[in-house]
Amino acid sequence: MKKRKVWLGVGIGLAVLLIVGGGFIFYNMNTANPVFGSEEFPLYAENVSDFMGMEMDMGAFAAFSGKVEAERMEKIYYDPAEGTIKEVFVSEGDAVEEGTTLFEYEPEEDLSIEKDQKQIELEMAYMDINRLQKQKERLEKQIKNAGATASEVPEEEGEEISFADEKETLQQELDQVIFDLRMSNLQAGQVQKEIEAFKEEEKSPVVVSKGPGIVQTINQDLLAGAPYGEESGASGPLLTIVSTGAYLIKSEVNELLLDTIAVGDKVQVSTKKGIDGEWIGEITEIGKLPVGEGEGDMNQEMYYYEEGNPQTSKYPFTVLLNEHEGLEIGFHVNLAPITGNSESEPSTGAVMIPIDYIVQDEEVPFVWAVNLETNETYKQEVEFAETDDGYMVEILTGLTMDDSIVFPDPSTSIEEGKKVEVLDYDTTEEY
């Protein structure tokens, strides 16, 4: 019985403590001061000039990877119809000029028999031409004599008709001979061309370079006699020649960063291997269609959005490098857009502030400015123009570099005449 009284007393005591403690906590929670915007924690104003240089160019946060390629690449493929490869006259790394002999074929087909047959046809054509030429001369002479004989004979009606018929017959024969002679000459000319073609085919065909460059690769499997085009054989070009002029860098940009680059923009190029040196390139092309899944082998790295948006599309773009000393074909490089490319950049001396400082709830946009004599807030109407980055705006009218403004935090009670503290970063202590 005593134990029950003891436990009952303990329980009542705990209940009293909970009620008193809870009431104390409830009272303190409801009487606590707000953290920001109260009289104890005043609002802060910043000078407009402190925002200069804060333009948030999203391109500055974007970085891409790319692979160095030659601007022009000549690929020469093996043609089995020309024969086997007799000799290659260049090696990998050799410099070539336009017209440099690269390699020579060895024809597999013996064309001597066909050429001899065509030679016989040509000789027979010439014999026929000689025969027709003599026949033509004989007929022309007969026609001439027939006319002379007709003028010397007394004019009798029957004889006049006889001479006219003979002359007409001879002229018809002459016309046919002239036609046959023309056809024989054409045939002889065609046979002559075929013979010249055989002579050319009998020569070992050579392949020359179409322009200057460096021999990058030579397919050694083809030189070793591997079958071409078969599944187990060799494939690809026999030789690859890259130009020694400008270089290209192929890369890709995420759709979320597509508006941060444009044709004509400059990019900074650096190697992944830590090689000293930086190069400046220019974007010359941006693809209109996204890269399909599995296309390319570049495995581009996207340092800004790639990790968080794996389902977004990528668009190919090309960078031109006119100066590339120290870079080699095939190098993997980093690309960083150089800010200040856009033509819509604000002019030097423009008043720039973050767009979040502008209140656009009313008919005319305004900012909370501060009277520096009284440190009190007031509404200052402004006109502004947005910039490419979407973060900073250019103030056209309403503010100067000497003005100070307050951020319109919704959790604070800003009103006209509100006392604020004006920050001075030049004198503020650093902690």
Dihedral over alpha carbons 232, 233, 236, 237 (to 10 degrees): 170
Backbone angles phi, psi at 22, to 5 degrees: -65, -40
Query: What is the rounded average pLDDT for all residues in the chain?
Result: 76
- Ramachandran area for residue 130 (φ above 0: left; ψ -120 to 50: alpha; else beta): alpha
Contact indicator for 250, 332 with CB cutoff of 8 Å: no
Specify if 127 maps to a domain: yes
CATH code of 385's domain? 2.40.420.20
Query: What average pLDDT score do residues 405-428 get?
Result: 79
Whether 117 and 253 map to the same domain: the answer is: no
| Last residue in a domain, options 172, 187, 202 | 202
Domain contains 21: no
379: pLDDT confidence band, cut at 50, 70 and 90?
very high
428 in any annotated domain: no
- Is residue 377 domain-shared with residue 415, that is, in the same domain? yes
Q: Answer yes or no: do 179 and 160 share one domain.
A: yes
- Using a cut of 0.95, tell me whether the model's pTM lies above it: no
326 with 257, same domain?
Answer: yes
Give me the percent of the chain exceeding a pLDDT of 70: 70
Domain with 185 in it:
112-202
Q: Are both 80 and 98 inside the same structural domain?
A: yes
Q: Which band of pLDDT confidence, cut at 50, 70 and 90, is reported for residue 91?
A: very high
23-37, 183-197, 415-429: the lowest-pLDDT one:
23-37
Looking at the structure, tell me whether residues 213 and 101 fall in a common domain: yes
Residue 320 has pLDDT above 80, yes or no: yes
Distance CA 228, CA 222 (A): 7
**Banded model confidence at residue 94, pLDDT cuts 50, 70, 90:** very high
The CATH number of whichever domain residue 94 belongs to comes to 2.40.50.100
Degrees, nearest 5: CA angle 274-216-66: 40
Q: How many CB atoms neighbour CB 145 within 10 A? A: 12
How far is the C-alpha of 44 from the C-alpha of 406, rounded, in Å? 6
430: in domain: no
Exposure string for 56-92, b = 16+ CB within 10 A, e = fewer: ebbbeebbbbbbbbbbbebebebeeebbebeebebee
Same domain flag for 186 and 230: no
Res. 83: pLDDT tops 70: yes
In a domain, 4, yes or no: no
pLDDT band at 1 (very low <50, low <70, confident <90, very high): very low
In the chain, what is the straight-line distance between the N-terminal and C-terminal CA atoms, in Å? 66
Report the CATH number that the domain containing residue 161 is assigned in CATH: 1.10.287
Are 148 and 292 contained in the same domain?
A: no
Kindly state whether residue 143 falls inside one of the protein's structural domains. yes
247-268: average pLDDT? 88
The total of structural domains in the chain comes to 4
312 token code pair? 């977004």
